[in-house]
Amino acid sequence: MSIKTKRILTAAAVAAALCAVLWLMQLLLMPKYMTDIKEGALIREYYDDPEGHDVIFLGDCEVYENISPVTLWREYGISSYIRGSAQQLIWQSYYILEDTYRYETPGTVVYNVQSMIYGTPQSEAYNRMTLDGMPLSRAKISAVRASVTEGESIASYIFPLLRYHSRWSELSAEDVKYMFRKDTVSYGGYLMQTAVRPMESLPAVKPLDDYTLPDISFEYLGKMAALCKEHGSELVLVKSPSLYPHWYDEWDSQIVKYASENGLKYYNFIDRSSETGIDMSTDTYDMGMHLNVYGAEKYSSYLGEILKNECGVPDRRQDAAYADVWNDICARYDEEKQSAASSAPPSDTQGGDSSGGSGGQPALSEHPHDGYYFTAYNTEIGVRCPAHLLEKMRENGGEYRYYESVSCAYQGMDMIYTFDSFEVHVNTVDGADIITGISILDDMVSIPEGLKIGDGRDDMTDCLGTDFEQSGNTYTYEKDGTLISVLIKDGSVRSIEYTF
C-alpha cells in the first residue's frame, strides 16, 4: 500500500470514529424527558409504532392532555393517536401531519384550533420539544425553517449536539439510562394528569386590539386541508372545552366562517358542558386550563360519538391485531390511573420553585413612584413591586379572587389576582414574587393620572401627555422602565394596562 492510500484510509477511519463518538455524545446529551417535562417525549414516541391509526389528532396541550385515545378505543373501537406537543404551532402541526403520511394514512385528521391564534414562533424551548422528536426528513427541515426564532440556527436542529452540548455540566443518571432506549410516557400520545384542582374563578376577559386571526394560520389550515384531501382523509376542526386562555367569540366566528366556506366540520366544545358532563370542579388539574384524566375521559366519550357517527370512523374491536396493541395500552393506562388514585394526591403545582438563577434580577421597590403606579385600598402598587403589597390591599378591604395559570410544559406560572375593578399579575422571578402587570377592568376606578375606561382619546392625552408610541389602537407610555398601554377603540378607552 502506498503512503497516500494508507493516509487516506487512516483519515477515513479516524473520521468515521469521530462521527461515531459525536453520535454517542449527542445521544447522551440530548434531554430525555422521561421523568420531568414528559411533553418533550411525545413527538418522538409516535415513531416507535407509527401505524394502525384511523384518527390522528394535531394541536397543543388541548389535545394531548384533554383527549384519551384509550376511552375512544374502549367505547367506540376507535384506533387513534395524538400527535400533539407543547404549544404546537399550526405550521408545525402541518409538517407533523406531512411526516405522519410517510408512515400511515388515517381516515380522519382532527386539528384543535387553539393554536390558530399564534402567527409567529413563540419560544425556542417549545420549538425544541416539538421538532427534536421528528426524525430527519424534508418535512422536519421545512418545519424547522418555519419555526426558528431569532438567533436560532437550522443546523442545530439537524445536529442537536450543537444545541445541547452545554448540558455536559448537568448530566444525570437518567441521561445514561435512556441513552439508547426510551420508556413510553403516553397512551397513544395522551399524557395522563390525575390531580384535581378545581376551577374557582377565571381571570377577567380583556378586550383585544385586534381579533383577526393571523393570515399565516389560515394559510396553513388551507394547506392542511389540501394535504388531507390529497390523501383521502377528512379534516375535522375542534375547540377543546378548556376555559382558559379565553377563546373569544370573534375568533370562533372566523373559524366557523372558514369551515363553512371550505366544507369542513368544526365543533366547539366550550359551551357543551351540559352534554359532555364536564364539571370544572372535578375534571381539571389546573383550575380550568386543562382537563385531568377524568375530564379527558368525559370529553373523549363525547368526541368519540361524533367521530363514529358523523365522521364514520370504523370500530376495530373485533380485529385481533388492533386489539392486541390496544389491550397493552389500556393495561398500562389503568395501572397509572389506579396508582395515582390510591396514592396521596401528588403536589399539583409545578411552579413557584424557581431554581435560584443568577443575575438579572429586577430591582424591587416598595415605593413605585419613579415609574407609573396605581392606587387602590390605600396602597400604592406598580410593576416590579413585591407581591405582598396585595395582602396589604386585602387587609384594607380589597377582596380578590386568585387564579394560577401554568403554561403547557412548565415555563413558569402566572398568578392572577382579580379585584373588583382591576387585576394584578404576579410572577416568580429569581425566587421572589413580584408584580408583573396590572390591568384596569372597568370604569369604577381610575389611574392616579385621572384616566379611566370609557374616557376619550383627548382625556388620555390630557392625563398622560402626547409622548406615546402607537401600535395599532394601542398607545404606550414609558416612565422609568414602566409602561402604561392604553387601548382605544371607537373613540373610547377600552383597557389600561401596566407592564414593564
Instruction: Draw the binding track, 179-218, toward other proteins (x: CB under 8 A; -: no contact).
Output: ----------------------------------------
Q: Which of 422, 412, 483, 437 is nearest to 204 (CA)?
A: 422
Using the minimum distance from each CB to other proteins, give the nearer residue, 214 or 351: 351
Our finding on whether 11 is near other proteins (CB under 8 A) is yes
Of the candidates 51, 136, 137, 153, which one interacts with other proteins according to CB under 8 A?
Answer: 153
Write down how long the chain is: 500
Instruction: Specify the amino acid at residue 166.
Output: S
Q: Which residue shows C-alpha cell 395522563?
A: 192
Distance of CA 325 to the CA centre of its chain: 29
C-alpha span between 29 and 34 (Å, rounded) = 14
Of the candidates 49, 75, 104, 124, which one interacts with other proteins according to CB under 8 A?
Answer: 124
Give the range of 22-30, 56-64, 248-256, 437-445 binding other proteins by CB under 8 A.
Answer: 22-30
Q: How far is CA 253 from CA 211, 213, 245, 268, in A?
A: 10, 11, 17, 11
Cα angle: 337, vertex 276, 350; to 5 degrees: 45
Our finding on whether 176 is near other proteins (CB under 8 A) is no
Q: Which residue shows C-alpha cell 497516500?
A: 4
Q: Is the peptide bond before 198 cis (omega within 30 degrees of 0)?
A: no
Using the minimum distance from each CB to other proteins, give the nearer residue, 10 or 309: 10
C-alpha span between 36 and 19 (Å, rounded) = 30
Our finding on whether 75 is near other proteins (CB under 8 A) is no
Residues 335-364 that bind other proteins (CB under 8 A): 355, 357-359
C-alpha cell of 465?
A: 401627555
- By the 10 Å C-beta count (0-12 exposed, 13-18 middle, 19+ buried), 195 is classed as middle
Give the range of 168-176, 264-272, 285-293, 373-381 binding other proteins by CB under 8 A.
Answer: 168-176
What's the closest the beta carbon of residue 248 comes to other proteins, in angstroms? 29
C-alpha span between 372 and 327 (Å, rounded) = 60
Our finding on whether 171 is near other proteins (CB under 8 A) is no
C-alpha span between 298 and 293 (Å, rounded) = 9
CB 363 within 8 A of CB 370: no
Using the minimum distance from each CB to other proteins, give the nearer residue, 243 or 432: 432
Give the range of 118-126, 336-344, 391-399, 432-440 binding other proteins by CB under 8 A.
Answer: 118-126
Our finding on whether 219 is near other proteins (CB under 8 A) is no
Our finding on whether 267 is near other proteins (CB under 8 A) is no
Residues 35-74 that bind other proteins (CB under 8 A): 36-37
- Residue 246 main-chain phi, psi, to 5 deg: -60, 135
C-alpha span between 461 and 470 (Å, rounded) = 13
Our finding on whether 17 is near other proteins (CB under 8 A) is yes
Our finding on whether 1 is near other proteins (CB under 8 A) is no
Give the range of 25-33, 182-190, 234-242, 437-445 binding other proteins by CB under 8 A.
Answer: 25-33
C-alpha span between 41 and 27 (Å, rounded) = 14
Q: Please tell me whether residue 419 adopts helix, strand or coil conformation.
A: coil
Instruction: Draw the binding track, 390-419, toward other proteins (x: CB under 8 A; -: no contact).
Output: --------------------xx--------
The DSSP letter of residue 113 is: G
C-alpha cell of 379?
A: 396602597
Strand 108-112 and strand 55-59: pairing? parallel
Number of residues binding to other proteins, judged by CB under 8 A: 39
C-alpha cell of 238?
A: 375542534
Using the minimum distance from each CB to other proteins, give the nearer residue, 168 or 211: 168
Using the minimum distance from each CB to other proteins, give the nearer residue, 4 or 181: 4
Our finding on whether 5 is near other proteins (CB under 8 A) is no
Using the minimum distance from each CB to other proteins, give the nearer residue, 222 or 412: 412
What's the closest the beta carbon of residue 231 comes to other proteins, in angstroms? 35
Using the minimum distance from each CB to other proteins, give the nearer residue, 13 or 136: 13
Using the minimum distance from each CB to other proteins, give the nearer residue, 60 or 175: 175
Give contact residues for other proteins (rule: CB under 8 A).
Answer: 4, 7, 10-11, 14-15, 17-18, 21-22, 25, 29, 31, 36-37, 123-125, 151-153, 155-156, 161-170, 355, 357-359, 410-411
